[in-house]
Chains A and B, each alone.
Chain A
C-alpha cells in the first residue's frame, strides 16, 4: 500500500523536472571575503599535520614503504569518513611505486585490496587478499575483508569459510561480528542477534565506533526478525553515542520512512544534503510531506547522478534506481538499474529495490534472481517476503 501511495505522488515530481531548470551560470563573487569552499582537513588538524610530515618524509625518501602505507591508510580512512573518493586516488598515488612491481609487499597488497573494493573491483580485491593471506595467514584483517566482499557477492559459504580462521583466536569480537553478519542474511538472524548482543555486553571497553557498528547490526537483525520496537531501541542507543555515521543515519532514515514518520527523517537529515544517500532519503521524506524544497533536492540529486553517469561510474546504481523509481517515476529505467546493480552487489537492500522496481514495472520475471536468492538463503525479512509474495501472485 505504501508503495502505491508513493507512486500516486510521483507525477507532480516528474512535472517539476520537465519545468525549465534554472541553469547555473558562472559568476564573479561580489566580495573577496565570500567563502566558496570548506576544506575537509584544516591545516591545524593533527591528522593533516601528520599527513604533511609523512608526505615530506616520502618526498625525501621515495622508497620509504612505511611512510607510503601509513599515508595510504590515512587517506583510505578519510575516504570512508568524509565520503570523498578523491582520497582513494591520493592513496593510490602513495602506493604506486610498489603497486606496480610484480610482487608488491604484503601491506601494499592489503591496502590495494581495500582501494579496489572501494571502486567495486571485487575480483581484483579478492586476488590481492588471496596473495596477502598466502604470505601471512594469521592476519585477521585480510580474512575480514575477504568475508565482507564475498558477502556483498552473496557467496555465503565462501564468506563463512573466510570467517573461520578468526575463530582460531577464541571468541573474539572479530569472529562474532564476521559470523553473525553471514548468519543475519542466511536465515539465522535470531542466532546472530543473540551472539552479537552477548559480545557487546562482554566487550565493555569497546570504543564508540565499533560499538555503533554492532548496534546498527543488532537493529538490522531485529528488523529482519520483525522486532521493530527492539530495532528502534538499538538505533536510538547507537545514535546516542554521539558519533555521526552515515550508514547508521541512512538505516534509521529508512526505518522511519518505512514506518511513515517522514517528519523525523527531515529533522534527522536536514544538515546532510552533501551526502547523496542521505539527501535521497531526505527527499523521499519531503515528498511524503509535500515540502517545497523537494524540487531543489531532486534537481541536485539528478545533477549528481548525471555527473556520475558521464564518468561511467556504477557506484550509486542502487540509490539511483530508488531515485528514479520514487522521485522521478521512471519505472523502466529504475528496473534496468536495479537489475544491473544486482549483478554487482547482492545485499538485502539491493534485493529490496529490485523487488520494488519489478513490482512497479509489473515485470515479475525481472525479480526472479532475487526470488531465487530469498529461497536459497532463507532471509527472513517480513517486508521482502511480502513483496516476493505479491510478485508471485501477479505472475501470469
Chain B
C-alpha cells in the first residue's frame, strides 16, 4: 500500500489520457424560438442513464438509440431555459452522435419555444453536477449574428444573458441586402428583365428593327417597363407575405421560367411590341410570388414584418436599377451595330428562349418528382409513373443536347440567318459572337444545374 502511494505521489505529472467531462451546449435564439444542440459524452450518459444494455463494456449505436427517450428526458430535466419570467419548454427533435477530441458524444437536438421574443435568457444547467462536480457545461449562445460563450459549473449553474436586440435600421438594411442579392443571383429575374429591355434601344418599322435616334425614347421605354414590373411584383410580394394569396413554389417557379421564354420569344417573333410594359406587369405578378417564397425562407422577424417587407422590396429594386443602369448606356451605344442586332438581340434572345425552356421542363419535373417519390414505393400501377418519369427525363436530356452546341455559336448564327433568308454575317462578327455566347453559357450553366438538383 505504501509503495503504491509512493508510486503515485512522485509520478511527475498526471497522465491526462482523457479530457475531463464536458458537455457542449449550443443555443441559437431567433425571436421566440431557441434551437438547441447538446453534445453529451456517452461515457457520462452511461453512468447516469445506463446505456450498455448487454453489459459487454461497449456502447453500440443500437443501445444509444434504444435509450433515446431516457437520454432526452434525463438531459432536458437538467436544463431549464426561461425568457424573463416565463418558461420555454423544450422538445427533442433528433438524436445523433459526434466525435470530440476524446470519445463519442450523443448529440441531442431540440427546439424550445418561449411565449415571446427572447430579450433576456436565463439558463439553469445542472447536468451531471450531482455525480461529477468537475463536470462543466460549455455554452455557445448565438443571437442576431453574435456569438458568446459561457461555462456552467456547480458554482455557476444559473446564468442570465441579455440579448441585444438588433436595431430596426440594421434589420431593414439586412433585408435590403438580401433583396439586392436575390435579384443578382436570380438569373431568371435578370433574364426576364433583359428580354424586355433588349428591344428598348430599337424601333420596329415595317417589320424590321431599326436603332432609335435619341436616348430619351429608349429611356422612357425602359422606365415604363421597369416601373410596371416593380409595381406588379411589389403587389404580389406584399399580398403573399401577408398571407392574402398563397401559391406553392412548384407552380410559381415553372411559371416564372415560362414568362422568361415568352418575353424572349417576343423578341424573335414580335407579338406584343408596343405594350411590353403590360407584359412586364402581368408576369411581374408571378415574379413577386417567387420573391415572397424567398422572403419566407429567410424567416420574417416578429413584429417587424412591414419593415422586412419594405427593406427586401427596396433591395430588389436597387439591385434591378443597377442592372438597368449597366445595360442601358451600353445598349444605346451599340444600338446601331450589326453586332447588337444580330448577336446580342437575336442571338441573346434565342439563347434565353433555350435556357428558360429547359428551366420550364426542369421545374415542372420537380412536380413530377413528387410522383416519383410515391412511385418508388412498391405499389400496383407505379409502372406508369415510372414510365412518365423516364419520358420527361429523356426530354430534358434532348433539350440539353440542343443547347450543348451553343458552345459553338457559329451554328446558331448561321441557322438564324438562314431562317430569315439572309446571307451569313462576316467572320469577325462570328468571332465576337463566340466570346459573348461562351460567357453567357458559363453564366447560364450554374442555374441550370442547380434547378435540376
Contact = CB atoms under 8 A, between A and B. Distances in A.
Interface stretch (B80-88, B99-107, B338-346, B411-419): B99-107
Contacts of A25: 98
Contacts of B22: 307, 310-311
Contacts of A147: 9
A62 interface: no
B138 A29 contact: no
B105 to A, nearest CB: 9
Interface stretch (A6-14, A30-38, A222-230): A30-38
A315 B44 contact: no
B73 to A, nearest CB: 20
Interface stretch (B129-137, B206-214, B289-297, B367-375): B129-137
Among A31, A147, A304, A307, the one with the most B-chain Cβ atoms within 10 Å of its Cβ is A307
Interface string B42-84: 1110110000100111111110110000000000000000000
B449 interface: no
A43 B20 CA distance: 22
B300 interface: no
Interface string A195-225: 0000000000011011001000100000000
B14 A148 contact: no
Contact of A275 (B13, B15, B21): B15
Interface stretch (A85-93, A282-290, A330-338, A377-385): A85-93
A177 to B, nearest CB: 5
B205 interface: no
Nearest to B4: A209
Contacts of A145: 5, 9
Contact of B37 (A24, A26, A304): A26
Interface residues of A, number: 77
A5 interface: no
A48 to B, nearest CB: 9
Contact of B57 (A42, A80, A96, A345): A42
A284 B60 CA distance: 34
A310 B151 contact: yes
A121 B383 CA distance: 74
Interface string A123-140: 000000000000000001
Among B4, B14, B62, B64, the one with the most A-chain Cβ atoms within 10 Å of its Cβ is B14
Interface residues of B, number: 60
A312 interface: yes
Contact of A300 (B10, B11, B101): B101
A196 B7 CA distance: 14
B97 A316 contact: no
Nearest to B149: A310
B57 A275 contact: no
B402 interface: no
Given A36-B97, A303-B100, A43 B52 contact: yes
B132 A93 contact: yes
A118 B14 contact: yes
Nearest to B65: A32
B16 A39 contact: no
Given A34-B60, A37-B43, A42-B56, A307 B19 contact: yes
Contacts of A246: 15, 17
Q: SS class of chain B's interface: helix, strand, loop or mixed?
A: mixed
Nearest to B96: A26
Given A26-B37, A307-B101, A35 B58 contact: yes
B2 interface: yes
Contacts of A247: 11-13, 15
Contact of B59 (A37, A80, A178, A303): A37
B16 to A, nearest CB: 5
B17 A276 contact: yes
A347 B12 contact: yes
A32 B61 contact: yes
B136 to A, nearest CB: 5
Contact of B6 (A38, A85, A96, A210): A210
B46 A39 contact: yes
B94 to A, nearest CB: 8
Nearest to A173: B3
Contact of A89 (B4, B46, B134, B149): B134
Contacts of B60: 32-36
B395 to A, nearest CB: 36
B58 A209 contact: no
B37 A86 contact: no
B18 interface: yes
Contacts of A316: 16
Interface of B: 1-22, 37, 39, 42-44, 46-47, 52, 55-62, 64-65, 96-104, 107, 130-136, 138, 149, 151
12 contacts: A27-B96, A37-B103, A80-B14, A83-B15, A86-B20, A145-B5, A147-B9, A178-B10, A275-B17, A276-B17, A277-B16, A311-B138
The 4 closest A-B pairs by CB, nearest first: A83-B17, A32-B62, A89-B132, A42-B57
Given A32-B62, A92-B132, A141-B1, 9 more contacts: A28-B96, A35-B60, A85-B134, A92-B134, A144-B2, A144-B5, A209-B3, A213-B11, A307-B22
